[in-house]
Amino acid sequence: MTLALLVEQILNGVQLGVMLFLTAAGLTLVFGVMGLINLAHGSLFMTGAFVCAWVAGTTGSFWLGLGAGALAAAAAGAVVEMLVLRRLYDRDHLDQVLATFALILVFSEGARWIFGPQPLWLDAPAALSGAVSLPGGAAYPIYRLAIIGAGIGAALLLWALISRTRLGMRIRAGESDREMIGALGVDIRTLYTLVFALGAGLAGFAGAMVGALQSVQVGMGEPVLILAFVVIVIGGIGSVKGAFVGALLVGVVDTMGRVLLPMGFSNFMPPSEASGVGAALASMLIYVLMAGVLVWRPQGLFPAHG
Amino acid sequence: MDKTREMVASVVLLAALAGAALWADAAGEPFYVNLASRVAILGLAGVGLNLALGFGGMVSFGHAAFFGLGGYACGIIAWHAGNYEPILTWPFEVEGTDRMPPIWGVAALVCGLAAAAIGALSLRTSGVYFIMITLAFAQMIYWFAISWPAYGGEDGLSIYVRNGFPGLDTYDALSFFGIAFGALLVALAVSGRLLGSRFGAALTMARLNPVRLATAGIDPFPVRLTGFVISAVITGWAGALYADLNGFVSPTMLSWHLSGELIVFVILGGVGRLVGPVAGAAAYVLLETFVGGATERWPLILGLALLGVVLFARGGIMGALAGRARHD
């Protein structure tokens, strides 16, 4: 394995990781503050991608699309929270699973109805097209580097928001004792809607960014949702720091496994078999990682409450 | 809750399912007989899940793993029998078979072992962790089935000749329904008997108050794990039957949509009701066939209907038929 390939794959892993973080952050915040398990989070990711692709296709501006995608996902999140999810905070997780599963059906079929059954395509903006050369000689797309930068920037902003602002203080207070901050006069219903919209907006932003790397289609949010679950189980449910570490871990392990395992097996197997066995095992790798973390620490790497 | 009313509702429901199949067969409509078989098999899968979810309080979002493993056990054994290739050549030779009973045995064994491994890891946690972890393990098996090329990978595996059952022509739609319905009755009888036993009492208590159960000298973990394994075995049996019904196994049987649908059967029918999942599966299959036949937007209608059930009509179909469950 050459140095160029190694660097390229690590960057790909980090890029997947920051995208996963943006999705997982909302999921873990919503669980930490409201105690809600939201399966429809992947649908908000999809909403961001669809609206971005549609707006960018209509106006010709990727940047307008990116903003519109994130805002649309945040708005959709706020509406869903006010109409449906608000009634579920006091129910058990089973009702939450079923209701948000139903929301996935509604979102997916709704997207198919509004945008048609064909996938949409989204081009990366001209300013970010092209590639830079990496140490070792390989070329790496600027757009992917920009995604890494944007993801880390969003993570820093989120950190500043949670640890440095009044809203963040209230979110943290909501995590540790929701009755108490309600009693202290904070409008808890608005706070919940804001937290949900924030998480949804982050997922929509991630969806819009990823939309330029893959086709924008119904169901694109579901693999991301399940990876985000793995991320927050590894990181500790409710912990934003855990989500960040977990996301990078999952992104890098998944990407490297898909490259290294088939290569490793080809040392003692015929190449055709090695690629099959390697690919099959690589697809299981992050779940094995998760199982390992659970055996070691059942509450995840950074347990949110003690 | 009214036990007699629930009993009457259950018997009427099962009789209606059998009656529908007989009527469709007499009318020369094998399509509707197969629909009844589908209800019986999906109901069977739901009965399995209900044991873990409804009675044991383990919200497994990964039961499609067992449904699909049962299906693949059936498909792979039949594939080997059809191609006259032994399944194992070392350390001893194992041939495939095209008989249902040994296939079911293997499916049960595979699902039981998988559930023991998944359960042993997942039951270390509870609540929302358990939901996500069972989902993740099911996804792991799903991705493995897609990327493992030997048995069809993403394209799935066809079962060209439906497996046989001693004394019956399994190609006859009504006979096949008889097998599926018989399996459903066996699973219901076993679940009912189990829940009435000492073990059932411990399983219920592990859901209601694990601390008190532990104080009584019974460790909740092995009780839960046993319940989870039995639940998986029943769902795996349904998977093997489903593979024979369709003559086809594919990773779709392992997908998380299927796990969600199984939960839908249980909740639509009424959580913790023995025959509830059959009612749920029947409602789902009827909706899918008739609404799905009328409009391609049917997932939208299903989603809205489910939202309505969760938000406003708790207790499900059995709750409506047999009175609300006691709050526990």
Q: How far apart are CA A72 and CA A79, in angstroms?
A: 10
Residue scoring higher pLDDT (B84 or B210): B210
Alpha-carbon distance A221 to nearest alpha carbon in chain B (angstroms): 13
Quick one: average pLDDT of B75-92?
A: 84
A84 at interface of B, judged by CB pairs closer than 8 A: yes
- In B, minimum Cα distance to A279 occurs at B147
Q: Is the pLDDT of residue B325 over 70?
A: no
* In chain B, where the domains are located: 3-322
Q: How far apart are CA A173 and CA B262, in angstroms?
A: 37
The predicted-structure confidence for B164-205, as pLDDT tens digits, reads as follows 898 888 889 999 999 999 999 999 999 999 999 999 999 999
Alpha-carbon distance B17 to nearest alpha carbon in chain A (angstroms): 26
The answer to whether A234 and A20 have CB atoms below 8 angstroms apart is: no
Q: Is the pLDDT of residue B2 over 70?
A: no
Q: Is the pLDDT of residue A1 over 70?
A: no
Q: What is the DSSP letter of B51?
A: I
Lowest-pLDDT choice from A39-48, A121-130, B65-74, B168-177? A121-130
Q: Cβ A284–B144 below 8 Å, yes or no?
A: yes
The predicted-structure confidence for B275-304, as pLDDT tens digits, reads as follows 999 999 999 999 889 888 888 888 898 899
Q: Cβ B121–A232 below 8 Å, yes or no?
A: no
Lowest-pLDDT choice from A87-101, B47-61, B182-196, B305-319? B305-319
The answer to whether A48 and A70 have CB atoms below 8 angstroms apart is: yes
Tokens of B288: 């899918």
B131 at interface of A, judged by CB pairs closer than 8 A: yes
Quick one: average pLDDT of B241-248?
A: 94
Q: Cβ B263–A294 below 8 Å, yes or no?
A: no
A27 at interface of B, judged by CB pairs closer than 8 A: no
Alpha-carbon distance B71 to nearest alpha carbon in chain A (angstroms): 19
Q: Please choose, from the candidates B283, B273, B278, B275, the residue with its C-alpha nearest in 3D space to the C-alpha of residue B309.
A: B283
Q: Which residues of A fall within a CB distance of 8 Å from B144?
A: 280, 283-284
B117 at interface of A, judged by CB pairs closer than 8 A: no
Q: Cβ B140–A233 below 8 Å, yes or no?
A: no
The predicted-structure confidence for B120-135, as pLDDT tens digits, reads as follows 989 988 888 888 889 8
Q: Is the pLDDT of residue B273 over 60?
A: yes
Beta-strand relationship, B248-249 and A131-133:
unpaired
Q: What is the ipTM of this complex?
A: 0.86
Q: Cβ B264–A98 below 8 Å, yes or no?
A: yes
Q: Is the pLDDT of residue A16 over 70?
A: yes
Instruction: Please state which CATH class domain B3-322 belongs to.
Output: mainly alpha
Residue scoring higher pLDDT (B108 or B147): B108
Q: Please choose, from the candidates B159, B65, B46, B51, the residue with its C-alpha nearest in 3D space to the C-alpha of residue B111.
A: B65
B185 at interface of A, judged by CB pairs closer than 8 A: no
Q: Is the pLDDT of residue A151 over 70?
A: yes
B304 at interface of A, judged by CB pairs closer than 8 A: yes
Q: What is the DSSP letter of A60?
A: S
Name the E strands within B70-162: 157-158
- Residue whose entry in the numeric block shows the structure tokens 């067992």: B66
Chains A–B, number of C-beta pairs less than 8 Å apart: 123
Partner-chain residue, chosen from B128, B136, B306, that has the shortest CB–CB distance to A98 = B306
B160 at interface of A, judged by CB pairs closer than 8 A: no
Q: Please choose, from the candidates A228, A154, A205, A202, the residue with its C-alpha nearest in 3D space to the C-alpha of residue A51.
A: A205
Q: Which residues of B fall within a CB distance of 8 Å from A233?
A: 129, 132-133, 136
Alpha-carbon distance B26 to nearest alpha carbon in chain A (angstroms): 37
Residue scoring higher pLDDT (A204 or A136): A204
Assign A254 a pLDDT band (cuts: 50, 70, 90): very high
